[in-house]
């Protein structure tokens, strides 16, 4: 019976994921709180779908906001799209700020500069490739009307332009999203997602500003954990954003996924090793191979139910992708195993050494990393 125990332990986790997805989709009351906001967007290069992503921020149905782009390289091709955005939306305050810096995490170094330049005391940070719905600001910022909430974040789904990238997007919807939904079901504190981080300037100042996290790779986790330590809640909006994963090959997806895994391991080691229980497909195969067919079948039914519920919750349902979940799960298990060992990651052309506390040190200098 011992080989079947991990598969048995995965069943309640997957049932919690189903409950979390149902809870997430229950709908939320939209607050009338509408603080003016500065959207801070460090960018580098023109990722696939970049213009559509930044345009989705300019068409927000929101009374007062500005978009402040941070660009380190004056020859960055993203500037052409930002100029086009200005021409299409002359009434939207859109600024570009030079953000060249020497922070280990140059994205955070850019955010230090952008926060100083921001006009408003409510700040929202997301990546350049994030695409949002027209009511995004309303649904996210309305939650900050509650003074007990210190930061608002969002779930996200991925869009891939190649088979490997589609597999990565499937992992976001069926592996990452369920883990977040379970965590949010059980607790309202602790971590933020880089897909959206909205907060007040006073909470940012209280944790020492972005300067306090400039050496960490997992800046989203650090920001959420530090604001939570102030006694503030981390809230999740019911708005789901989309990130474009491009058309990467398997090697690129593997590097991206292992970087993510190792970053989680050093940021939240207890949670990372707890993910062993979430590897349901692998443990169900072990259970089946050792003759525990009933456990394996029950475990796989629970796993597929959790995957389907999470896909629906984040707007990523696709029947063909759903059938591929077990195969993606085995790839995810290999990534999880790779994340257990190793202390180097590659990010934006630079190789970093991960310190035990989550700080990073560049090993080989490549292109700048805004």
Instruction: Assess whether pLDDT exceeds 50 at residue 370.
Output: no
- Domain C-terminal end among 250, 281, 297: 250
When pLDDT is cut at 50, 70 and 90, the band that residue 1 belongs to is low
* Residue 230 contacts residue 207 (beta carbons within 8 Å): yes
Residue (of 83, 35, 26, 85) closest to 55 by Cα position: 85
CATH code, domain with 49: 3.90.550.10
Specify if 66 maps to a domain: yes
- Domain C-terminal end among 235, 250, 265: 250
- Domain C-terminal end among 250, 280, 306: 250
Percentage, residues of the chain above pLDDT 70: 96
What's the pLDDT score for residue 189? 61
Q: For residues 344-355, give the mean pLDDT.
A: 79
Residues 240 and 290 in one domain: no
The pair of structure tokens assigned to 198 is 């909205």
By CB atoms closer than 10 A (0-12, 13-18, 19+), residue 294 is exposed
Specify if 354 maps to a domain: yes
Q: For residues 316-321, give the mean pLDDT.
A: 94
How do 344-347 and 350-354 pair as beta strands? antiparallel
Q: pTM value? A: 0.91
Specify if 369 maps to a domain: no
When pLDDT is cut at 50, 70 and 90, the band that residue 134 belongs to is very high
Question: Could you tell me which residues are beta bridge partners of residue 346?
Answer: 351
What's the pLDDT score for residue 248? 86
What's the pLDDT score for residue 368? 43
Residue 325: partners with Cβ closer than 8 Å, 6 or more residues away: 170, 174, 281, 303, 304, 307
Specify if 233 maps to a domain: yes
Specify if 343 maps to a domain: yes
What are the respective helix, strand and coil percentages of the chain, to the nearest 5? 50, 20, 30
Residues 241 and 261 in one domain: no
Higher pLDDT, 361 or 243: 243
Backbone angles phi, psi at 325, to 5 degrees: -55, -45
Higher pLDDT, 256 or 91: 91
The Cα 347–Cα 134 span in angstroms is 31
The Cα 215–Cα 109 span in angstroms is 9
Higher pLDDT, 339 or 365: 339
Residues 83 and 118 in one domain: yes
Specify if 370 maps to a domain: no
Residues 161 and 267 in one domain: no
Backbone angles phi, psi at 148, to 5 degrees: -75, -15
Give the strand order in the sheet containing 156-160: 130-131, 241-246, 156-160
The pair of structure tokens assigned to 68 is 């402040």
What is the DSSP track for 6-20?
A: HHHHHHHHHHHHHHH
What's the pLDDT score for residue 364? 57
Higher pLDDT, 370 or 102: 102
Specify if 242 maps to a domain: yes
Residue (of 232, 234, 219, 148) closest to 187 by Cα position: 234
What's the pLDDT score for residue 363? 81
What is the DSSP track for 210-224?
A: GGGGTTBS-HHHHHH
Q: For residues 66-74, give the mean pLDDT.
A: 96
* Residue 98 contacts residue 82 (beta carbons within 8 Å): no
Residue (of 105, 114, 112) closest to 67 by Cα position: 114
Query: Looking at the chain, how many residues does it have?
Result: 370
Question: Tens digit of pLDDT for each residue in 4-43?
Answer: 888 988 999 999 999 999 999 886 678 899 999 999 999 9
What's the pLDDT score for residue 188? 58
What's the pLDDT score for residue 369? 40
Residues 322 and 349 in one domain: yes
Helix axes of 280-289 and 325-340: crossing angle, nearest 10 degrees:
100
Q: Is the dihedral of CA 60, 183, 128, 113 positive or negative?
A: positive
Instruction: Assess whether pLDDT exceeds 60 at residue 164.
Output: yes
Q: For residues 257-269, give the mean pLDDT.
A: 87
Higher pLDDT, 365 or 337: 337
Q: How many CB atoms lie within 10 A of CB 361?
A: 10
The pair of structure tokens assigned to 332 is 């995810």
What's the pLDDT score for residue 98? 96
Domain containing residue 315:
2-22+255-364
Q: For residues 215-229, give the mean pLDDT.
A: 93
Q: What is the pLDDT of the chain when averaged over all its residues? A: 91
Q: How many domains does the chain have?
A: 2
Residue (of 1, 142, 4) closest to 63 by Cα position: 142
Instruction: Assess whether pLDDT exceeds 90 at residue 268.
Output: no
When pLDDT is cut at 50, 70 and 90, the band that residue 361 belongs to is confident
Q: For residues 60-67, give the mean pLDDT.
A: 97
What's the pLDDT score for residue 230? 94
Specify if 358 maps to a domain: yes
Residues 73 and 107 in one domain: yes
């Amino acid at each position: 019976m011992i080989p079947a125990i991990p598969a048995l332990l995965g069943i309640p986790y997957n049932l919690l994921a189903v409950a979390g997805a149902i809870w997430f989709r229950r709908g939320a009351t939209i607050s009338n709180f509408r603080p003016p906001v500065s959207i801070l967007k460090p960018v580098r290069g023109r990722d696939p779908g970049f213009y559509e992503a930044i345009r989705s921020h300019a068409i927000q149905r929101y009374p007062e906001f500005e978009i402040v782009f941070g660009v380190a390289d004056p020859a960055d091709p993203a500037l052409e799209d930002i100029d086009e955005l200005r021409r299409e939306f002359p009434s939207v305050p859109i600024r570009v700020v030079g953000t060249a810096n020497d922070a280990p995490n140059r994205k955070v170094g850019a955010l230090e500069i952008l926060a100083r330049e921001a006009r408003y005391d409510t700040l929202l940070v997301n990546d350049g490739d994030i695409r949002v719905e027209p009511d995004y600001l309303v649904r996210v910022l309305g939650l900050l009307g509650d003074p007990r909430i210190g930061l608002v974040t969002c779930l996200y789904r991925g869009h891939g332009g190649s088979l490997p990238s589609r597999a990565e997007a499937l992992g976001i919807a069926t592996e990452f999203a369920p883990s977040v939904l379970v965590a949010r079901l059980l607790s309202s504190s602790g971590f933020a997602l880089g897909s959206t981080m909205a907060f007040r300037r006073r909470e940012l100042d209280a944790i020492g500003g972005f300067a306090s996290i400039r050496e960490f790779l997992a800046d989203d986790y650090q920001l959420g954990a530090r604001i939570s330590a102030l006694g503030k809640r981390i809230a999740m909006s019911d708005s789901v954003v989309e990130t474009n994963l491009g058309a990467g090959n398997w090697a690129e997806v593997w590097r991206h996924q292992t970087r993510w895994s190792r970053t989680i391991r050093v940021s939240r080691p207890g949670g990372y090793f707890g993910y062993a229980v979430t590897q349901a497909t692998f443990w169900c195969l072990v259970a089946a191979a050792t003759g525990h067919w009933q456990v394996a079948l029950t475990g796989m039914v629970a796993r597929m139910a959790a995957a389907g519920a999470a896909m629906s919750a984040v707007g990523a349902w696709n029947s063909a992708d759903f059938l591929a979940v077990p195969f993606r799960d085995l790839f995810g298990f290999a990534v999880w195993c790779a994340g257990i060992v190793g202390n180097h990651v590659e990010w934006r052309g630079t190789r970093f050494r991960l310190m035990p506390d989550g700080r990073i040190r560049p090993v080989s200098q490549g292109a700048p990393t805004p």
